[in-house]
Amino acid sequence: METQFYMADIPRLLEEKNKEKHRAVLEQIFIRLATNSRALEESEFEKFIQSVTRHSDVKQVDTFDRDKFEELRFMTNQGANRIQ
């Protein structure tokens, strides 16, 4: 990474840092969901997720993918969700 920046670069760098922070928050949320430790009510959780995804430029998919669901089911049947 460069060590010298121009003043014009600061807004872009701050925006990138903000997106990076929101992606890290999403990663932590998904870890908690995977372990079933959700702390918010459903409506509050949806609002929170929408806010975080909007600021992190993550595309939210609202469609159900049967193939991915079956792949997940296969992985869990193979022990992917078991604690070692």
- Is 3 or 7 the better-scoring residue by pLDDT? 7
Torsion-angle region of residue 36: left (phi > 0), alpha (psi -120 to 50) or beta?
left
In this structure, are residues 38 and 45 in contact, taking their beta carbons and an 8 Å threshold?
yes
State pLDDT tens for residues 24-71: 888 888 777 766 666 778 788 888 878 877 777 767 667 888 888 888
Judge whether residue 79 has pLDDT over 80: no
In this structure, are residues 29 and 9 in contact, taking their beta carbons and an 8 Å threshold?
no
pTM for the whole structure:
0.43
Q: Residue 33 carries which side chain, given as an amino acid letter?
A: L
Cα(44)–Cα(24) distance, rounded to whole angstroms?
A: 20
In this structure, are residues 73 and 65 in contact, taking their beta carbons and an 8 Å threshold?
no
Residue 8's pLDDT is what?
82
The arithmetic mean of pLDDT across residues 3-18, rounded, is 82
